[in-house]
Amino acid sequence: MASRVSSLRRPAAPTSRTQLLVALAILAALAPLPSLGLEIYWQGVVITSLYYALLASNWNLLAGYTGLFSLAPAGFAMLGAYVTALLWTYAGVEPWLGIPAGAIVCAIVGLVIGVLTLRLSGPYLALTTLALAEILRVIVLNSFDITRGEIGLQVPALFAHQSSYYYMFLVAVGGFLIGLHWLLGQPCGLYLRAIRNDETGARARGVRTVFWKVFAFSVSSGLSGLAGALFAHYVIIVSPSIGHLLVTGLVMSMVVLGGMGTLLGPLVGALLVNVSSEYLRAAGDYQHIVFPIVVILFARFCREGLVGRAAMIFNARVGTQARSGAKATEVLASP
Amino acid sequence: MSALIAVENLTKRFGSLVAVDGVSFTIGDGELVGFLGPNGSGKTTVLNMMSGLLRPDAGRIALDGTDVGGMAADSIARAGMIRMFQLTRVYTEMTVIENLLTAGFALGLGKREATERADEVLDDLKLLAYREAFASDLSGGQQKLLEFACCFMKAPKIALLDEPFAAIHPTMRQVLADYVRRTNAAGQAYILVSHDMPIVIDLCPRVVCLAAGSVLADGPTDQVLREPAVIEAYLGPNH
Ligand SMILES: Nc1ncnc2c1ncn2[C@@H]1O[C@H](COP(=O)(O)OP(=O)(O)OP(=O)(O)O)[C@@H](O)[C@H]1O
Ligand SMILES: [Mg+2]
């Protein structure tokens, strides 16, 4: 009877354990590189990639799983960074308190925005987050006496060695993905996906859609703030460039490239985009055109992204084997 | 005695069009009531208001004595009034079992309970072979059955079904009709909107007939179907 069900076009399972394992394997493969002599410069590229992977995964939680379009992933990262920077500069608060404070402030701001905008469906969240991101940046730029504008605020480093940051971000991304995989396996993971798929249907069948949308937005905002605060103590100078809208665009392109609504996609997208942009640097400002074009091409020809496409190919192959008698294990799509 | 459902003077305007115009009816525990009416007579709009997806312009809707008029759709569903849509709404990007579990969890079932119940309903509706399939890979009729199944993860106080039999193969239609008949015999209340006369006559002891947003007739099925006004509304004045 099971043969009635075609697995040929079977998409990537959003909660795939295999994808989590592949992601952890990538992180594990990156781990020994500093001790194998990876240059400081390239360690920095990987660290930035992992920071972007955090923002991308957070944006994916919203756009890929819940269907919410926020334009403030970079905005919240900047807010988180400034919370710890301002606390340090004006109250001498140590980073180990400042970093969680950044996350909490962002979660609260996310909660307020969510409550205000997520009762309505439509473009309100996108518009509000766009406004928030730009207003925050303008405030920071114009409050020179407090924030030192574009020059930025200096914050203490967490570690003496670059490689320590490298490991910290590896652990942060790994921990985030494990947490996300766990969350998606809970009833709330089903609710979020149901909301993205058909919000009216979900509401009519008893899902507290407003509550779960606000929940997802608040959690995602808080974790973006956490990523920004961690990043702040890596770059040591907190400036408004962290929150630039171009960063948000870059984060979105990473998710689209890797695969929206896949666990592994944002990590793959972040590594690919950030590492390849090192090679595009020679092209100067033209590099800003490359990723939008790639995004358009993907949106047109490969909507499922690289990881989504790989999973489909894999599932099709496993499906063929299953028909010829081999054991049917849908690896990338397995729960 | 308070009725399970008491709808009073329900009214909805879309611009100058009065889609539902002072509709009142009551439904008792365990009743199975058919809703008839020509296209555009306001049946879906009444269900939309009852399920909280549309705000009435006037009127009252009570479920078990509680006014649900201002309640959010999801609260109404959890309070035990659940509906099925005329245009099928299932989560196409999720598997059949995930669709059912989502409904079960939302209505407060635990994991074990929800899984057991899902398998039971799938078996009842002959969908068990599709348990792990994506809803998008089901046929239109099978998707309708799945949406139907989602409504019964936890027995509601009343289920509002909007054209559940449309575009369904006769054998599946029988499966569905049998399910309705069997559960109704065990006390499940229904509103059944349908254009399928034979099934309505077969299943519903009572029908409410709407025309142009108003209740034209309400009573035992055979009586209502003999009323000249109903015949005229359905078949045109020349009959
Ligand atoms: N959202 C809306 N905006 C404007 N007009 C609407 C809306 N929904 C319904 N209507 C109008 O209200 C009237 C009643 O529509 P409704 O869908 O309730 O009819 P119905 O009895 O369910 O018809 P059918 O048997 O075709 O499903 C129709 O004239 C329709 O055009
Ligand atoms: Mg209708």
pLDDT of residue A5: 46
Per-residue confidence at A327, pLDDT binned at 50, 70, 90? very low
pLDDT of residue A273: 93
Atom of ligand 1 nearest to the CA of B20: 14
Q: Nearest CA to B208 among B1, B50, B92?
A: B50
Query: Is A17 part of a structural domain of the chain?
Result: yes
pLDDT of residue A17: 87
pLDDT at residue A168 is higher than 70: yes
> Which of chain A's residues have a Cβ under 8 Å away from the Cβ of B128?
1
Query: Is A271 part of a structural domain of the chain?
Result: no
Backbone torsions φ then ψ of B216, nearest 5 degrees: -90, -35
- Beta-strand ranges (E) seen in chain A are 153-154, 237-238
Tell me which residue has its CA closest to atom 4 in ligand 1: B14
Query: Is A267 part of a structural domain of the chain?
Result: no
Query: Is A335 part of a structural domain of the chain?
Result: no
pLDDT tens digits, A93-149: 999 999 999 999 999 999 999 999 998 877 888 999 999 999 999 998 998 888 898
Tell me which residue has its CA closest to atom 7 in ligand 1: B14
Best mutation site among B12, B20, B41 for ligand 1 pocket (most ligand atoms within 8 Å of CB): B41
Verify whether the Cβ–Cβ distance A207 to B132 is below 8 Å: no
Verify whether the Cβ–Cβ distance B130 to A206 is below 8 Å: no
pLDDT at residue B238 is higher than 70: no
Q: Does the interface predicted TM-score (ipTM) exceed 0.85? A: yes
The partner residue sitting opposite A204, judged by closest CB among B77, B105, B128, is: B77
pLDDT of residue A121: 76
pLDDT of residue A331: 34
The partner residue sitting opposite A194, judged by closest CB among B83, B94, B133, is: B94
State how far residue A60 is from chain B, nearest Cα, in angstroms: 16
> Cβ(B147)–Cβ(B88) under 8 Å?
yes
The partner residue sitting opposite A205, judged by closest CB among B72, B106, B128, is: B106
pLDDT tens digits, B24-81: 999 999 999 999 999 999 999 999 999 999 999 999 999 999 999 889 999 999 999 9
What is the mean predicted confidence (pLDDT) over A227-253? 93
Q: Nearest CA to A236 among A291, A162, A181?
A: A162
Which of the 8 DSSP states describes residue B95? B
Residues A216, A218, A220, A223, CA torsion sign: negative
pLDDT tens digits, B82-138: 999 999 999 999 999 999 999 999 999 999 999 999 999 999 998 999 999 999 999
Q: How many domains does chain A have?
A: 1
pLDDT of residue B155: 94
pLDDT at residue A323 is higher than 70: no
Query: Is A326 part of a structural domain of the chain?
Result: no
Q: What global pTM score does this model have?
A: 0.91
Query: Is A169 part of a structural domain of the chain?
Result: yes
**Own/partner long-range contacts of A95-102 (Cβ < 8 Å, ≥24 apart):** A95/A155, A95/A156, A95/A158, A95/A233, A98/A155, A98/A229, A99/A226, A99/A229, A99/A230, A99/A233, A100/A226, A101/A229, A102/A225, A102/A226, A102/A228, A102/A229, A102/A232
Q: Nearest CA to A251 among A286, A277, A217, A226?
A: A277
pLDDT tens digits, A257-281: 999 999 999 999 999 999 998 888 7
The token pair that represents B9 in the structure block: 């003077």
Average pLDDT, rounded, for chain B: 92
Average pLDDT, rounded, for chain A: 88
Per-residue confidence at A319, pLDDT binned at 50, 70, 90? low
Query: Is A77 part of a structural domain of the chain?
Result: yes
Atom of ligand 1 nearest to the CA of B12: 12
The token pair that represents A100 in the structure block: 């969680």
pLDDT of residue B168: 86
Distance CA B229, CA B14 (A): 26
pLDDT of residue A285: 76
Q: By a Cβ cutoff of 8 Å, what residues of chain B touch chain A?
A: 51, 53, 72-74, 77-78, 82-83, 85, 89-94, 98, 101-103, 105-107, 111, 128-130, 132-134, 137, 150-151
Range of the domain at A205: 2-242
pLDDT of residue B152: 95
Best mutation site among B13, B16, B18, B43 for ligand 1 pocket (most ligand atoms within 8 Å of CB): B43
Distance CA A239, CA B194 (A): 63
The token pair that represents B15 in the structure block: 């611009």
pLDDT of residue A147: 86
Q: Is the CB of B235 under 6 A from ligand 1?
A: no
Distance CA A57, CA A77 (A): 13
Query: Is A45 part of a structural domain of the chain?
Result: yes
pLDDT of residue B234: 75
Distance CA A60, CA B139 (A): 30
Whether A203 and chain B come into contact, CB under 8 Å, resolves to: yes
Contacts of B65 (CB under 8 A, 6+ apart): B2
* Interior angle at CA A225, CA A223 and CA A230, nearest 5: 95
Amino acid found at B27 = I
Per-residue confidence at A208, pLDDT binned at 50, 70, 90? very high
* Interior angle at CA B45, CA B41 and CA B49, nearest 5: 145
Q: Is the CB of B37 under 6 A from ligand 1?
A: yes
Q: How many CB atoms lie within 10 A of CB A279?
A: 9
Contacts of B28 (CB under 8 A, 6+ apart): B3, B4, B189
pLDDT tens digits, B178-212: 999 999 999 999 999 998 888 999 999 999 999 99
Backbone torsions φ then ψ of A329, nearest 5 degrees: -120, 110
pLDDT tens digits, A23-64: 999 999 999 999 998 898 999 999 999 999 999 999 999 999
Per-residue confidence at A284, pLDDT binned at 50, 70, 90? confident
